[in-house]
Structure 1
Amino acid sequence: MSDPMRPRAALRTAVVWDVLQDALERRVKATGRQALDVLDTGGGSGNFAVPLARLGHRVTVVDPSPNALFALERRAAEEGVADRVRGVQGDARGLFDVAERGGYDVVLCHGVLEYVDDPAEGVRNTVAALRPGGVLSLLAAGLGGAVLARALAGHFTEARQALGDPNGRWGDGDPVPRRFTADQLTALVRGAGLEAVAVHGVRVFSDLVPGVLVDTEPGAMEALLKLEAAAAELAAFHSVATQLHVLGETGGTDGA
């Protein structure tokens, strides 16, 4: 399957996209349907939704921002997939006011748990949207990556603050309300009744490498992508990743 997210701008999402594509291929084979039903919670302007629609899948994006949904609509139209992308205003807590319970083969929950009041409830809602045999793609901010970034920037007090804070925040000016460890995310997935089949560290190196090196060194982009992919599955690097990705799967089968 071709990868529509390999350009320079997609460097930070390459690992997630590769994992997601593999999961989609498995679901296509398991269901016998080329077009899957995908729910993208917090999907914003369609960074994942539009490429998924280009692959032929039907995608529903739930996001609280009208501006993001407007951008999604425009982007889907420009890419010629407006008939396969639907945007609705809502959030994880009231998910089933706008989305179908048990109606999706794959659910994306990317960049959502950091901002909800109750992460466990947020995961339970996304799981309840899955069909039997469905797949959850969960992406959230990693604690270790934030600590490392603050320390490397010379903000040692803030790094220590984040390390000891129950929500992983480095101070009042921190724009991220909550960060997670890999153990915390896998516990949330398992607590919602899924098997955590894979954990990946995302943006292990890309946030630390000066952009000028990637842009000017011949072959640096592809080499960095390969390095990120190689480190993503190694538990040793999960503790320093900027983001953590957990792939969860439900039991049962759905051959509809």
Structure 2
Amino acid sequence: MVARQLDEQMAGRFPVGQRLRVLDVGMGRGTQALRLARLGHQVTGVEQDTAMLTAAREALAREPEGIRDRVRLVQSDGRDTGVHFLPGSFDVVLCHGVLMYVEEPDPLVAGLARMLAPGGLLSLLVRNGDALAMRPGLSGDWAGALAALDTSACLPHARTGPSGGTPVRVGPDVRADRLPALAATLDGIAAPLHAWYGVQVFTDTAADDAAVPDDLETLLAAEERAGRTDPYRGVAALLHLCGVRG
């Protein structure tokens, strides 16, 4: 979903065929970075975790030489972009699934915005602070739903167990962000919100090891439609925000 939404925003902002300079902060295993490099863009991937960075390097090594030449990998937590890169060095900056692990996200977002050239696109993927009770509630965890309704910032990162029942808590606590607050942040750093989507409107309670359904394309169509339609996108597990540098 995020890739489809990102492609839509890039196509609406840049000329067809333009090779863009992309910065992917918190790239993980490099899935998005490699996808964009295959499309012809020059991509710099930033990742702090050594294991993830190793996996990204191994995946990159399996690509043809022309794609390998378009990718640069840097080990960093993304907060020192000003050390590695000059302001205005990129046309697109991605920060997907990172802010939820950052206690104070505003300085990081501001630093990323400074990396954008005028008219550049900033893509953020965050946990939705206005939907924290949805996963436990839909899974029958009423105590968890009540606790989530009372929280304002943080939620233990829960994934549904193989049975699809009560969520199992795994991993560190993660933050959640609310749309109005992030929109205000983007306004304040001269990269105002241009578009936003919901991600995982209907599928957030699916188990990590769930089989791919036979009607996958129908599922994706439903998620894509809901992710851009009110009121459904407002209760999605994740929010995908796209700001544009003034």
TM-score bracket relative to the smaller structure: 0.7 to 0.9
Stretches of structure 1 that go unaligned for 5 or more consecutive residues are: 1-13, 252-256
Number of the residue aligned with 1:239: 234
The 10-residue stretch of structure 1 (44-53 or 202-211) with the greater mean CA deviation from structure 2: 202-211
| Separation (CA, whole Å) in 2 of partners of 1:154 and 1:165 | 18
Work out whether residues 162 and 171 of structure 1, in 8 Å CA contact, stay in contact via their aligned partners in 2. Answer: no
RMSD: 2.4
Amino acid at match of 1:202: V
Work out whether residues 158 and 170 of structure 1, in 8 Å CA contact, stay in contact via their aligned partners in 2. Answer: no
Number of the residue aligned with 2:116: 130
**C-alpha offsets along residues 121-159 of structure 1, whole Å, 9 cap, x if unaligned?**
111011000001100011011134431111222222222
| SS in structure 1 at match of 2:177 | coil
Please state if 1:117 is matched with 2:103: yes
Number of the residue aligned with 2:51: 67
| Separation (CA, whole Å) in 2 of partners of 1:211 and 1:119 | 27
What is the number of residues matched between the two proteins?
233
| Separation (CA, whole Å) in 1 of partners of 2:59 and 2:208 | 26
Amino acid at match of 1:84: R
Whose helix proportion is higher, 1 or 2? 1
Structure 1 residue corresponding to 2:75, chosen from 89, 96, 99: 89
CA 1:98–1:23 in 2, change beyond 3 Å: closer, same or farther? Answer: same
Structure 1 position 111, deviation (Å): 0.9
Structure 2 residue corresponding to 1:35, chosen from 2, 6, 19: 19
The 10-residue stretch of structure 1 (171-180 or 201-210) with the greater mean CA deviation from structure 2: 171-180
| SS in structure 1 at match of 2:85 | coil
Structure 1 position 222, deviation (Å): 0.7
| Separation (CA, whole Å) in 2 of partners of 1:60 and 1:129 | 12
**C-alpha offsets along residues 45-69 of structure 1, whole Å, 9 cap, x if unaligned?**
1120000000000110111112211
Structure 1 position 206, deviation (Å): 1.9
| Separation (CA, whole Å) in 2 of partners of 1:96 and 1:76 | 25
Amino acid at match of 2:92: V
Please state if 1:249 is matched with 2:244: yes
The 10-residue stretch of structure 1 (94-103 or 62-71) with the greater mean CA deviation from structure 2: 94-103
| Separation (CA, whole Å) in 2 of partners of 1:189 and 1:66 | 30
Please identify runs of 4+ aligned residues in structure 1 that moved more than 6 A: 210-214
| Separation (CA, whole Å) in 1 of partners of 2:141 and 2:98 | 27
Stretches of structure 2 that go unaligned for 5 or more consecutive residues are: 159-168
Number of the residue aligned with 1:198: 195
| SS in structure 2 at match of 1:204 | coil
Number of the residue aligned with 1:4: none
Amino acid at match of 2:228: E
| SS in structure 2 at match of 1:235 | coil
| SS in structure 1 at match of 2:154 | coil
Number of the residue aligned with 1:254: none
Whose strand proportion is higher, 1 or 2? 2
| Separation (CA, whole Å) in 1 of partners of 2:135 and 2:50 | 32
| Separation (CA, whole Å) in 2 of partners of 1:114 and 1:56 | 30
Number of the residue aligned with 1:100: 86
Work out whether residues 93 and 122 of structure 1, in 8 Å CA contact, stay in contact via their aligned partners in 2. Answer: yes
Amino acid at match of 1:96: G
Structure 2 residue corresponding to 1:188, chosen from 157, 161, 185: 185
| SS in structure 1 at match of 2:69 | helix
